[in-house]
Amino acid sequence: MKLHKGFLLFGIFLLSIGLSGCPIDAPEPIVPPLVGVRDGTATGLGDGFARNMEGAWHTYEGLANNEPGRHVEVTVTVLDGFITEVLIYGPDESPGWRDAPIAQAPGIIIARNTFNLVMADIDALVRATDTVNGINEAGNNALDKLRD
């Protein structure tokens, strides 16, 4: 009986060691679906930050000034209340400064299901606040086109 008890305790010990190495997945945060937004794809424009022909820096309000190309363009696809694809086009945004927001923003937007980015969401060393604001504005303008 003593031998059985020893094997039983040893077996429990081995089982506990084996299970302690198993990762337990933390539940993913629940992201609410968009309300009042139908499925589809739409494109919106937002004011960004760009360099003019003389090399001076300007915040462009392209929609107000009717200056073609001086904006950020965002195309968003929504399915079942969730943003499933984000394409950002900002050719006139300042090279180097636009790269991080345009590369990083789509994944963050899809994960959070919102176009409410803040500068802290993007590499803080970039300091591309106007580009981030332009992405938010363009994305929300696109979503407005899909609202019921």
What was the pLDDT predicted at 11?
Answer: 59
Residue 83 has pLDDT above 90, yes or no: yes
Window from 25-29, 43-47, 59-63 with minimum mean pLDDT = 59-63
Report which of residues 113 and 60 the model is more confident about: 113
| Rounded Cα gap, residues 117 and 133, in angstroms | 8
Residue 89 has pLDDT above 70, yes or no: yes
Amino acid at 57: W
| Rounded Cα gap, residues 29 and 9, in angstroms | 39
- What domains lie within the chain, and their CATH numbers? 40-145 (3.90.1010)
CA distances from 117 to 34, 52, 71, 80 (A): 16, 26, 17, 22
What was the pLDDT predicted at 53?
Answer: 41
Which long-range CB contacts under 8 A does 110-114 form with residues at least 24 apart?
A: 110/83, 110/84, 110/85, 110/86, 111/31, 112/31, 113/31, 113/32, 113/33, 113/34, 113/82, 113/83, 114/83
Residue 29 has pLDDT above 50, yes or no: yes
Distance of CA 136 to the CA centre of its chain: 10
Confidence of residue 84 (pLDDT cuts 50, 70, 90): very high
Q: Which residue has the tokens 């636009």?
A: 98
Residue 57 φ then ψ, to 5°: -90, 135
Range among 7-11, 39-43, 58-62, 113-117 rated most confident: 39-43
Contact by Cβ (8 Å): 141, 46: yes
What was the pLDDT predicted at 56?
Answer: 47
